[in-house]
Every structure is written in structure tokens, then in C-alpha cells.
Amino acid sequence: MNTEILGVILMYGLVVLLAIPLGRYIGKVFNYENTLLDRIFNPLDKLFFKLGGIDPTLEMNWKQHLMALLSINLVWFIISMLVLTNMAWLPLNPDSNPSMSPDLAFNTSVSFVTNTNLQHYSGESGLSYLGQLILMLWQFISAGTGIAICAVVFIAMKERTTQTLGNYYSLFVRSCTRILFPIAVVVALVLAFNGVPMTMEGKDTMITVQNDTVQVSRGPVAAFVAIKQLGTNGGGFYGPNSTHPFENSNYLTNMAETMSIFLIPIAMVFAMGFVLRRRKLAWTIFGVMTIGFLLLCIPSIVSEMNGNHAIAEMGISQPMGSMEGKEVRFGSAASAYWAVNTTCTSNGSVNAMHDSMTPLTGMFTLLGMMINSFYGGVGVGFLNFYIFIILAVFISGLMVGRTPEFLGKKIEAKEMKIAMIIALLHPLLILAGTALSSYLYAGNPTLYASWLNNPGYHGFSEMLYEFSSSSANNGSGFEGLGDNTPFWNISCGLVMLLARYLPIIGPVAIAGILASKKYIPESAGTLKTDTATFGLMVFGVISLVAALAFFPALTLGPIAEYFSLFK
């Protein structure tokens, strides 16, 4: 069999094999059970709480959890703004890079604090090493935010009636130190020993074989890239992200980085099964997510390996597939695989330029972000899926004439309203944003000429992609878009804010309200949620929401472009 395809199969198989035990470990961390790493982390966590002035045993209800989350996120945003607008004179700036403009700093701060990592700057020239290290901090703790709040929802889903759902700070610190940190160290070491730099020295000068003088950017890349991949962050150290040979130097580092994208999102599903002692439900959810992922992944790989029809017409051969924007050391299969991984989860790192991919792959990456719950971002991916479960429970309840119940709790009007608002928020933000930018562009194409790098349908896709990426808290881009302008910085910044916090508040509110309701033990009249039938129902709801909301926009962009190839 083709070695490129074998590589993809290996990456997927390994990540599932690793995610199952990791899920059990994460479950233990959430349940405060003993683990092997306690010797190191018990004293470390104590130190965190002591220096932070926090009582980790204080129980919180769902509203207190959200207040704690929102206030600490606000603090991060303010610190981030201060650092990014003052980098020029602060220390650790060997390449003398400038500070950011206020609108770019706003976009970048929101982007990293919300776990999006949309980048309207280029790392080599737009950030000092201090800026990079601060952004790396957000990469750890914004991922920890998502994992911790997901743990709160798991605790709320347990079979009992309760108001209190653990302590937010405690879950947050445990997520960062016990889950993200040890895996990041392993991945960073794999990268550092395979050619990814880890140095505080600035640019080096190299005279090439043909006697050109070239400046080579370096930096503390290995540490940064590891957490960028693991925390579904995705913001690259260098402008072109993991296509850069110093960010991703060979097929082994590519495997480590690709697997890091999916590892924690898949493990979270198994962690839920462990915490709730409902392994079958975990496998049902995993099954739905996997089918959805494969439906996006397989056609993308086929499409990229077949190459670009317009290039084939020129009469040259495409043995490696469509190679514009791709690296030879990864090939088109591993690039398409990464592209779907990074968009299904809210990672957003790339190892090939999505803007240059064939139209259908472009569409599948867009769909991954529009659905945003096939595995999804660390923690928040599960929360998105939770909304779809609530919708599916309600719809199936109506269909078979049973009271809608999920895990022994009745779902009533209030929860449904919240779920509907959250489910519709995502299409609203994407489509309204794209409509606004298209309206502006169409009204004055000369004034906004610098926005689009490509004409026609593809230009529309660039705008659609940017808003999808912002709203999905993804962070990848059709990077041809000239996006460092006040319009894009501010509009994408606002979309990222709304699309991060509302979809956290909604599910936590639902779970919190449900937790305080009376627990009804399962009976013959209960709709079973851990069956293939229910899985199919959830899949149907997801497809309906995505297809009905986004199909018209996709028709104007990638689908029209695809058919224009064969005129």
C-alpha cells in the first residue's frame, strides 16, 4: 500500500490507542483519585494554591464557576494587551521587533486568550521572544480553562441532585499541571531532538551555496510548538506555522504534532465515560464523532492526492498530488489529514496552506469548523457536542412521545431555549460576518482590493473561512486574506469573544440547572442515549444544523469553484 496512506492510518490508530488510557487518567484527575504522578504534582499544586491565595476545597455552583472563569480570562486579556503593545522596549527582543498596533494587539490578545490563535501577524517579525512566551502561557492556560470547565459539566452530569460542582481553580490548575504539562514536556523533547530549535539566541546569518546571504530566524520553538499542538491552540511560532522546517522538521515530528492535535479531544470523551461510569455512552459519542470525522477526512485525502485539475490540464504530472502550499517531507495525504484534524478540533495549526488546497478539501475544512464538535477543541469540543445531544434528546423525545430525559434529568423549556440559542449562534456569527464583509467588498472593490488574494469564488471562500475560523475558535486561515486591517482585527476579535464565552456559558448553565433537578432513575420508559439509534439521531441533528445553515454559503464558495474547474 501507498506509504503516505499507511502513515495516516498509523497516526490515527496510535492516537486512539493512546487516548483510551489517557482518558482514564484524565478521569482520575477529575475524580481526585490517586495516580502515579501524585508525588510530583501534589506538592506542586499546593504551591500554586498557596501562592495564588486560593482555597481549593471551596465548593462552587455553576454561576460561581463561570464568574471565576470569566474574571481570570479578563485578567489574561489585560496583561496580554499590555505586553503586546510594549514589546519593543521590554526584554527578550534579540531581533528588535516592534510593538503591536492597538487593533492588532486586541485581535491577538482575544485570539490567544480564547484558545483561537488566529494570527494577523507573522511570528518572525511581529513578536519578541517575550511576546512569544506570554502567548505560550495563554496556550497552556486557555486550554486548561476549556478542560476545567468541561470537567465541571462532567461532574454536573453525575447521577445525583446537587448544587455544588467542585472548585474551579482546583480543576483548572489540575488540568494545566497534571494533563497538559507532562504531555507537553514529552512532545517538546521529541521535537527538540529532531531538529526543532530551542534557543534564546536571535537570527543567524547563513551564506548559501549560491552565495546568497540569508537571515535565519530561530527561537524557543520546541517548547512553544508542543503546547500549541496539544491545547488545540494552533498559533505558530513562525508565520507559516508547522509548514516551516524549524517548526516541523521531518515525518516523525509531523506524526508527533498531528497526533497531539487529536489526543486530548478524544481522551476527553473517554474521560467522560470514566467519570460518569458510562463507558457505553462514551463509545457511542466517540462513534458518532469518528464517523463524522472520517466523512470529512477521506474525501479530502483523495482530493489532495488526485491533484489540481487545472494543473493537470497543463500537461505535467502530479505524482505527489496537489503540491502548491505543501511540503515534500509530509506529502499530500498527511497534509490533508492534518487539515481535517486541525479544523475538526479547534486547533488551527497547519502543515500546508489551506488557501491553496483543492476546492473540495477547502469545503471539508470549512465544514469541520462549522460543525466544530467532531472531537472538537480541548474541553469545549465536548461542550458543543453536549448541545447537540440535548437537541437530539428533545427531538427524539417528541418523535416517540416520551418525556425528554438525559442521564436521569428532565429536559424542559429553559434548557432547550439555551441550547437553541447556542446552536444558532455559530451560524449567525459566521454568516452575518461573511455577509457584512462581502457587502463592503462588493460595494467598493478598489478600496478593499488588498483584502483578497484570489478573485471570484475563492475570494469569497477566504472571507467565509476567516469568520468560520474565528467563530469556531479555530485560528487557521485562508492566509491569502489581507487581514491585518482594523476591520478584520476588530470584527474577528468580537466574533472570537462571543463564540468562546457564550458556548461555554450555555452548556454549563444547562448542566448546572439539570444537576439541581430531581434524579429520575432509569425505567422502561426512558429513552436510551447510549445506543446506535440515538447516535444516529445526534448525527442527524448535527448534519441538519450544519447542512441547512451553511449549504448556501458553501455553494457560493468552494462548490462553485469546484465546478468552475471543469468548464
Partner 1 sequence: MKSNILPAIRLTLVCLLFFSGIYTFLIWGFAQLAPNQGKGEIITQNGKTYYANIGQSFTEDRYFYSRPSAVDYNAAGSGGSNKGPTNPDYLATVQARIDTFLVHNPEVAKSEIPSELVTASGSGLDPNISVHAAKVQSKRIAKIRNINETTVNQLIEQQTEKPLLGLFGTEKINVLKLNLSLDNLK
User: For residues 115-174, which are near partner 1 according to CB under 8 A?
Assistant: 122, 124-125, 133-134, 136-137, 140-141, 169, 173
Find the binder of partner 1 among 57, 96, 208, 446 (CB under 8 A).
Answer: 208
Identity of the residue, 76 or 539, whose beta carbon is nearer to partner 1 in the bound complex: 76
Q: By CB under 8 A, is residue 4 in contact with partner 1?
A: yes
At its nearest, how many Å lie between partner 1 and the CB of residue 315?
5
Site residues (CB under 8 A) for partner 1, limited to 268-297: none
Cβ 308 to partner 1, closest distance in Å? 5
Residue closer to partner 1 by CB (options 11, 157) is 11
Chain mean position to CA 508: 19
The region, left, alpha or beta by phi > 0 then psi within -120 to 50, assigned to residue 411 is: beta
Q: Collapse the DSSP code of 451 into the 3-class scheme (helix H, G, I; strand E, B; otherwise coil) and give the result.
A: coil
Using DSSP, state whether 316 is helix, strand or coil.
coil
Site residues for partner 1, window 174-193 (CB under 8 A)? Answer: 176-177, 181, 184-185, 188-189, 192-193
The string of DSSP codes covering 72-117 is HHHHHHHHHHHHHTSGGGSS--TT-PPPPPHHHHHHHHHHHHTT--
Beta bridge partners of 214: 206
- Please report whether residue 201 would count as binding partner 1 according to CB under 8 A: yes
**Is residue 48 within the footprint of partner 1 (CB under 8 A)?**
yes
318 binds partner 1 per the rule CB under 8 A: yes
Residue 53 interacts with partner 1 (CB under 8 A): yes or no: yes
Residue 210 C-beta: closest distance to partner 1, Å: 6
The distance of closest approach from Cβ of residue 547 to partner 1 in the complex, given in angstroms and rounded to an integer, is 24
Question: Of these, 75, 88, 399, 424, which contacts partner 1 (CB under 8 A)?
Answer: 75
Question: Could you tell me how many residues of this chain bind partner 1 (CB under 8 A)?
Answer: 121
The set of cell numbers assigned to 197 is: 530549535
Scanning residues 398 to 457, which ones bind partner 1 (CB under 8 A)? 453-457
- Among residues 84, 171, 222, 390, the one that binds partner 1 under rule CB under 8 A: 222
The CB density around residue 232, as the number of other CB atoms within 10 Å, is: 34
Residue 209 DSSP code? T
Choose, by CB under 8 A, the member of 93, 114, 322, 346 that binds partner 1. 322
> 516 and 392 in contact (C-beta within 8 Å)?
no
Per CB under 8 A, 548 contacts partner 1: no
The sign of the torsion formed by the CA atoms of 124, 128, 130, 135 equals: negative
113 binds partner 1 (CB under 8 A): no
Separation CA 467–CA 290 (nearest Å): 25
Kindly indicate which of the ranges 283-291, 341-349, 357-365, 385-393 contains the residues binding partner 1, using the contact rule CB under 8 A. Answer: 357-365
CA 177 to chain centre: 20
Q: Which phi and psi angles does 205 have, rounded to 5°?
A: -105, 135
Residue given cell 482520575 in the structure block: 28
